[in-house]
């Protein structure tokens, strides 16, 4: 096993009851001494999967503290626009004012935060540079055209369900000329249920802030990373044992290969492994597999709420880190 794992990659080895380290003798990215030229030579970014609101990419040759820094910046420092103040002119629904305001604040808004400024004085009146205004005015009534035989609320009443699509943008100043499409990202978010006589008349004010202020300003639904799994077979496993080995791992990790009338197990894609140690349940299999994780290879998954694409969120996090470093260097130069 030592010969197979003796390469240049820093690893952690998953044992039956513990995790051990297997660091190579040569300097790696995990050593305390840091060199810019070595970092440039080792560091790579690989895009694995890119969708509208989800991005999976690999950061290779990077220190864990820096990977975690990017994660925390995406969660807490990249700003977005969210409803901050709710002026309740009329609320006769059964939902309390504070609960209603909280629900509205959590609705993701379609507005590029890079086009707005941070509001310095929260008590000052909003301007077209730092505030978005919305209105929610809706009333539930009986549906006179409904069938008398139907007992469905959707047939008996009009506007019995209040959705995010009922929130209307009220442009301030020249905002209509500057922005083409502003409003809730998802039109079908349920805000409240009403019955005849219930009414909502609200004025909503959205401002720019970040997750440090409140979770509603975080641009990501989730942002996390994990170490790249690496699985090696130490000996050939065939027949019924190969099928048992395959079931010990997540789908896609181990595959069964058929050749010359026999079947044996091979590693198909270790990336899908979730760290399960079911293989240690079998005495005849526990010595057949080496399960490790590469310490300087991080698999990042970023899921955006929709205000910004996930790749833009990561780039904004990099810019924020750069600005923080420059500010620190500037402060140190004056000491």
Residue-wise pLDDT for 272-312, tens only, equals: 999 888 999 999 998 999 999 998 899 999 999 999 999 99
- Output the pTM of the full model: 0.86
Instruction: Please tell me which residue, 14 or 303, carries the higher pLDDT value.
Output: 303
pLDDT at 30 over 80: no
With cut-offs at 50, 70 and 90, classify the pLDDT of residue 316: very high
Structure tokens at 54: 């989800």
Q: Where are the domains of the chain?
A: 1-78+218-230+292-335, 80-213, 235-287
Q: Which residue shows structure tokens 């979730």?
A: 274
Distance (Å, whole) CA 118 – CA 210? 10
Q: Report the CATH architecture of 80-213.
A: Beta Complex (2.170)
Has domain 1-78+218-230+292-335 been given CATH number 1.10.10.10?
A: no
Mean local confidence (pLDDT), 243-269: 92
Burial of 224 (0-12, 13-18, 19+ CB in 10 A): middle
């Amino acid at each position: 096993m030592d010969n197979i794992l003796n390469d240049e990659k820093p690893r952690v080895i998953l044992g039956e009851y513990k995790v051990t380290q297997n660091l190579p003798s040569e300097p790696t990215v995990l050593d305390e001494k840091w060199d810019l030229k070595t970092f440039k030579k080792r560091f790579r970014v690989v895009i694995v999967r890119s969708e509208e609101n989800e991005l999976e990419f690999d950061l290779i040759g990077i220190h864990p503290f820096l990977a975690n820094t990017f994660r925390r910046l995406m969660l807490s420092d990249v700003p977005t626009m969210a409803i901050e103040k709710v002026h309740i002119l009329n609320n006769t629904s059964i939902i309390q004012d504070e609960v209603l305001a909280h629900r509205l604040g959590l609705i993701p808004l379609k507005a590029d935060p890079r086009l707005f400024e941070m509001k310095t004085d929260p008590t000052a009146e909003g301007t077209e540079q730092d505030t978005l205004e919305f209105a929610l005015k809706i009333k539930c009534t009986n549906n006179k055209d409904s069938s008398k035989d139907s007992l469905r609320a959707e047939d008996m009443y009009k506007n019995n369900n209040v959705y995010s699509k009922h929130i209307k943008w009220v442009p301030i100043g020249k905002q209509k000329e500057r922005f083409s499409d502003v409003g809730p990202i998802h039109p079908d978010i349920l805000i409240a249920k009403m019955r005849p006589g219930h009414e909502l008349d609200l004025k909503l004010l959205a401002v720019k802030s970040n997750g440090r202020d409140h979770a509603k300003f975080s641009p990501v639904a989730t942002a996390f990373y994990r170490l790249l799994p690496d699985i090696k077979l130490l000996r050939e496993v065939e027949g019924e044992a190969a099928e048992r080995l395959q079931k010990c791992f997540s789908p896609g990790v181990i595959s069964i290969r058929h050749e010359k009338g026999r079947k044996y197990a091979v590693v198909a894609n270790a990336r899908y492994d979730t760290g399960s140690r079911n293989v240690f349940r079998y005495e005849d299999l526990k010595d057949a597999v080496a399960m490790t994780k590469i310490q300087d290879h991080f698999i990042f998954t970023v899921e955006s709420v929709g205000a910004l694409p996930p790749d833009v969120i990561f780039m904004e996090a990099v810019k924020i880190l750069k600005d923080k470093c420059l500010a620190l260097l500037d402060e140190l130069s004056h000491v």
